[in-house]
Amino acid sequence: MKGIKDRGQTIQFLKLYTHYFSDMMMPNVSIFIAWAVIAFAVPVLHADQGILIKSEEAILHFLLPILLAYTGGKMVEPTRGGVSGAIAILGMILTSQFPQVFGAMIIGPLTGGMLRFFDHIFSRKVKTGYEMLFRNFSAGLIGGLLFLCNFFVFGPLLDQLSQQSYHLVDFFLKQNLFPAIHLFLEPLKVLFFNNIINHGLFTPLGVEGASIHGTSILFLLEANPGPGLGVLFACMRYGSQKARNGATAAAFVQAIGGIHEVYFPFILMNPLLIIAPILGGATGTFIFQMSKVGLRSPASPGSILAILTNTPNHMWSGVLAGVLVSTLVSFFVAYFVLTYHSVNEKSTEGTICMDKVKRIIVACDAGMGSSAIGASLLTKHLEEAAISIPVDYKSIYQLKDGEDLLVITQSGLGALAQTKTPQAQHYFLSNFLAESEYETLVKLLKQEQETVANVSFKIGEKIPTLIFLYEGKKRGAQTMAVAIVRKIANELAIPIEVKKEDIETTQFNPEALYIVQKDFQQMAALTNVTHLVVDDLVTTSKYRQLMTEGVAYVLD
C-alpha cells in the first residue's frame, strides 16, 4: 500500500511540475498562429521571401523565448518576475545558435523563484519609503546576474544539449525508429501529460528542426488526431451505452476542435484500449516518415484544420494519408478489444450537500477545451432544472479551496483535485462530454435542493409573508425584488406569498416580514414589526438564506 501511495504522490508531483511548462507555452500558442499567417501571406502577396526568413528568425530566436521566460517568471513572482525572466533569457539567446525554447522554460520560473526568495530575505530590512527602489533594484539585480550566468555558463551548456537532442532525434529518423516513440507517448498522453510532451518536448525540438529544414515531423507526433479518432469511432459503434452517448460529440470535438483530452476517459474506462492508439500512432508516424512530411510550425490545438494550415501544399497527401491510416488501424484494434473484452460501467453518483454548494468549477488539466465544454453543458442542464448556481471552468492547478465549492473533474484527476481542494465537495466524471453524467449530477443537486427546502420547514419556523415596502412612487427595485424572490421560491418549491406595498397605505401584519433598503426614510414606522434591512433590494444571497436557513438565522 505504501508503494502505491508513493507512486500516486510521484505522479501528482510530476503533473504539478510539468504543468508549469504547459502554462508557459499555452498562453503563447498564438505566436505559432501568427507565424502560420505570415508564412501563408508572404507568398500570396508575392512579397520578398527575405521577410519570411527574417520574421521566422525573429519569432523563433527572440520573441518566443523572451515571452516564454516572461510568462514563466510572472507565474512565480507576478509583479516583477516576468521582466527579470525576460532580461535573464536574453543572455542565453545572444550566445546560442539554436532557439532557446527549452532554456526559456527553465530560466523563467527559476528567475521568478530567485526574485521571490531574495525579497523574502531582504524586504523586511527595507526602510519605509524605499520599497519601490528596493523592488526595482532586486528585479534588475536578479535579472542582470542571471543574464551574465546564462551568457557565460548556462547558454553554451544548453546549446550543447540542444545539439545532442537534435542529433538524438535525427538518429531516430535515420534508424526508422520514430514509430517506437508511441510505446511511451500514448500512455503518457492518457495520463494527461499530453501538454508537457507536446509543448515541452516536441515543440522546442521541432522548432529547432523546422528552422533548419523548413518543416518537422515532431509537430505531428502528438498532434495527430488519428489514434484518438479511431478509438472514438470504435466506441461509437461497439462501446457500452455510456461510451456511445459521449463518443460522437467527442469525435467531432477532437477532429475539428483539436482537444485530444476527450478520448482519454474512454481508454481509462477500458485500459486495454491503450493498444489501439499505440499501434495507430506508430503506423501514422511510419507513414509520415516514409512520406518525408512535416509541419512548418506546431498545430495547436491538434485539429485537422490546424494541421493542414501548417502543412506545405506539396505535403498534404502524405499528412492526410498518415492521419487516415492511423485512424483505421486504431479503429480496428479498438474494435477487437471492445468485442472481446468489455468492462462494467462504474457509477459516478455520490452524495452532495446542496446547502453548502454556492459555486461549481469544472476542472481539467489545462483548464481550457474539455472543461470549458463541460461547464457549458452543465450550465445548460442547471438552467433547465431551474437551479441557479454559477459554473466556471479552470485548470486543476489553479483551484482555490472552499467549503462552498463543488469541483467536477475526470476520475483520472480525482486524487489531485482532492489534494488541491480538501474542503470542497467533489464529483468525478468518466467523460466531460457525456450528457448523461451531467443529468445524473443535476438530479442529485435537485434532490438535495428539495431536501434542504423541506428541512427548513421541519424546524417548526413558519416562513411568513414577504412584503417589500416602497415610498411614494419609487417601486422599480421592489418590483424586481418580488420577481427574484418568487423565482427562488419556485426553485425551492416553497409556497410563500411575496408582494410589494406602499408604506403610506399598508396595514402592518404582525406575521409578515417586511424588507426595506438601508436608506429607507421611514424606518421609524417599522419599530413594532419584523423587518429585514438589506443593502440592495435586488441582491439574492439574503433571500436564499431566508428560505433555506429560516427567518431567525437571517435576522440574527
Q: Are 438 and 381 in contact (CB under 8 A)?
A: yes
Return the active site residues: 364
* Mean pLDDT (whole number) for 199-222: 81
Beta-ladder partners of 516:
533
Q: Please state the φ and ψ torsions of residue 406, each to the nearest 5 degrees.
A: -115, 120
Q: Which of 148, 79, 147 is nearest to 116 (CA)?
A: 79
Helix 131-149 × helix 101-122 angle, to 10°: 140
Percent of the chain with pLDDT strictly greater than 70? 78
Q: Are 363 and 409 in contact (CB under 8 A)?
A: yes
| Cell (9 digits) for 206 | 521541432
Give yes or no for residue 349 having a pLDDT over 50.
no
Give yes or no for residue 242 having a pLDDT over 70.
no
Give the helix/strand (H/E) hosting 258: none
Give yes or no for residue 456 having a pLDDT over 50.
no
Beta-ladder partners of 407:
361, 426
Classified as helix, coil or strand, 304 is helix
pLDDT of residue 516: 84
Distances from the Cα of 212 to the Cαs of 25, 85, 182, 327, 493, in angstroms? 22, 27, 25, 30, 68
Q: Which of 3-17, 111-125, 425-439, 466-480 has the lowest mean pLDDT?
A: 3-17
**What is the C-alpha end-to-end distance of the chain, expressed in Å?**
50
Percent of the chain with pLDDT strictly greater than 90? 17
Q: Which of 25-34, 72-81, 141-150 has the lowest mean pLDDT?
A: 25-34
pLDDT of residue 460: 37
Q: What is the pLDDT of residues 464-523, one digit of tens each?
A: 688 888 887 667 778 888 888 888 777 777 777 888 888 878 888 777 888 888 777 676
Structural domains of the chain ordered from first start: 13-175 (no CATH), 179-347 (no CATH), 354-452 (3.40.50.2300), 465-554 (3.40.50.2300)
pLDDT of residue 112: 92
pLDDT of residue 172: 67
Give yes or no for residue 149 having a pLDDT over 90.
yes
Cell 505570415 belongs to 38
pLDDT of residue 455: 41
* Mean pLDDT (whole number) for 368-397: 81
DSSP characters for 106-146? HHHHHHHHHHHHHHHHHGGGSPTT-HHHHHHHHHHHHHHHH
* Mean pLDDT (whole number) for 145-151: 94
Residue type, 200: G
* Mean pLDDT (whole number) for 184-199: 73
On the CB side of 284, CA atoms within 13 Å amount to 35
pLDDT of residue 176: 67
pLDDT category at 222 given cuts 50, 70, 90 is confident
Cell 490545438 belongs to 301
**Would you say the C-alpha torsion 272, 278, 283, 288 has a positive or negative sign?**
positive
Q: What is the pLDDT of residues 399-419, one digit of tens each?
A: 888 888 889 887 767 777 887
> Exposed e or buried b for every residue in 25-56, given b needs 16+ CB within 10 A?
bbebeebbeebbebbeebeeeeeeeeebeebb
Q: What is the pLDDT of residues 88-145, one digit of tens each?
A: 999 999 988 777 877 888 899 899 999 989 988 888 888 877 888 888 999 999 999 9
- Whether the bond between 301 and the residue before it is cis, its omega within 30 degrees of 0, is yes
Q: How much is the CA Rg of the chain, to the nearest whole Å?
A: 29
